[in-house]
Amino acid sequence: MTYVVTVETCIPEGTPEMDPLQRAGAVALIEDGFGSVRAVEGPDGLEVDILDTIVAVHPGGALLKVVVDAPALEFAEDSVRVLVDELLERTELLADWEIERCEVELHQDLAMASLEAAHGPDAPPDDPVARKARHTEAPTADGTGAGPDAERRSATVRSRMLELADELRSLPPARFGVLEDEDGLAVPPEAARLAAGALVHATDVLVDELFEDVQVLTQEDATVAECEGPLWHLERLPDRYALQYDAHFARRFLVTVIALTTRFTDGSFQRLGCVAEELALRLLLSQTTMVLELHDLLDDDVSAALDALTDHLYEDMDHEYLYGDDHDDHDERAAPDAPLGVAPVPFEAWFTPFNRGRYIHPSAADEPDAAAR
């Protein structure tokens, strides 16, 4: 099974932040360390293959993504933690660095490819929920994967998400379908809180992974259509514009996501400001659903809460036409024939406010680089 393990490392407490030259050196050291390892021995002598790595260094440390092929989630996490710990320890300049977090997650595309390639009597079940449960269970002595660890992990995540719900100050329970009047059908308050907390949790994941997408495009000096490295989210934007998604676009989109989700949590959100925010929300809701599914928390009530929120946040679904197939494959900039009543927004206007009352972060709006010139 393919997993992606996120590792956050930090420089020693009290140490000055790294300057650009030091960060470049840290990237080289870490990448060289990973490059010398193709596999690592996990618990019980099982081998865990290293498929790919992404290294993003910041002034206070580094964020690492390690793609591995492992027999179980716990093996992936433990093996990568040991690997990174040894890598830092044997690299003199990094020996004092510490691991702050090591967390495993399923990579959507790679996991699906792995599942679809499986055959025979041990192939995973057809039902997506059953497949997810099977691959997140801890293995037993006979290797069947049954055990209480998955339930404990799910309960822990549920508790954490309920706590995070209070951070979503702009989106009260009513936005998730909770009715003040108890008469009639409504979303249960706890389901709404779980959906809200999952949205906050998914925000952190989305921002981290978009940051990595920016790093990959910057390092390759490529667009999404040309990129050879792994991308988390930018390749899920409308395909017809993939040749336009370069590192500059990726930075603007990342700023847009941060600005939008900040308004969700600081109480200032009113309405979506532009097409880019509509697309950002689409990715965020997808990430929220995936997180809930991964931890077996997406029941009918939570799904209803997310549907209610979607209906509230989107004034219309015009942006969905961008994902249609009715366009000229030879002209990536051509807008498709929009459905009746839909006003097509050209790619160049994705970061332009819908009207003067909408908020767009200054670093994202209207080509800041061009304005500076």
Helix (H, G, I), strand (E, B) or coil at 60: coil
Under DSSP, the state recorded for 12 is P
Q: And the tokens for 252?
A: 């603007």
The answer to whether the beta carbons of residues 170 and 255 sit under 8 Å apart is: no
| Entry pTM | 0.60
The answer to whether the beta carbons of residues 72 and 44 sit under 8 Å apart is: no
Where are the strands (E) in the chain, listed by range?
A: 2-10, 39-41, 47-58, 61-69, 98-106
Q: And the tokens for 275?
A: 């097409």
The answer to whether the beta carbons of residues 115 and 131 sit under 8 Å apart is: yes
Rounded distance between C-alpha atoms, residue 74 and residue 149, angstroms? 10
Residue with tokens 């709404």: 192
The answer to whether the beta carbons of residues 94 and 30 sit under 8 Å apart is: yes
% of residues, the chain, pLDDT over 90: 38
Judged against a pLDDT cut of 60, whether residue 59 lies above it is answered with yes
Residue 65: predicted pLDDT: 84
For the four alpha carbons of 80, 85, 86 and 91, in that order, the dihedral sign comes to positive
Q: Please write the tens of the pLDDT for every residue from 164-211.
A: 999 999 999 999 999 866 555 688 999 999 999 999 999 988 988 898
- Nearest residue to 275 (alpha-carbon basis) of 369, 338, 197, 208: 338
Rounded distance between C-alpha atoms, residue 104 and residue 275, angstroms? 32
DSSP assignment of 190-236 equals HHHHHHHHHHHHHHHHHHHHHHHHHHHHHHHT--TTT--S--SSGGG
Residue 67: predicted pLDDT: 83
Q: Please write the tens of the pLDDT for every residue from 240-257.
A: 999 999 999 999 999 999
First-to-last C-alpha distance (Å) of the chain: 49
The answer to whether the beta carbons of residues 103 and 160 sit under 8 Å apart is: no
Most confident of 227-231, 271-275, 319-323: 271-275
% of residues, the chain, pLDDT over 70: 77
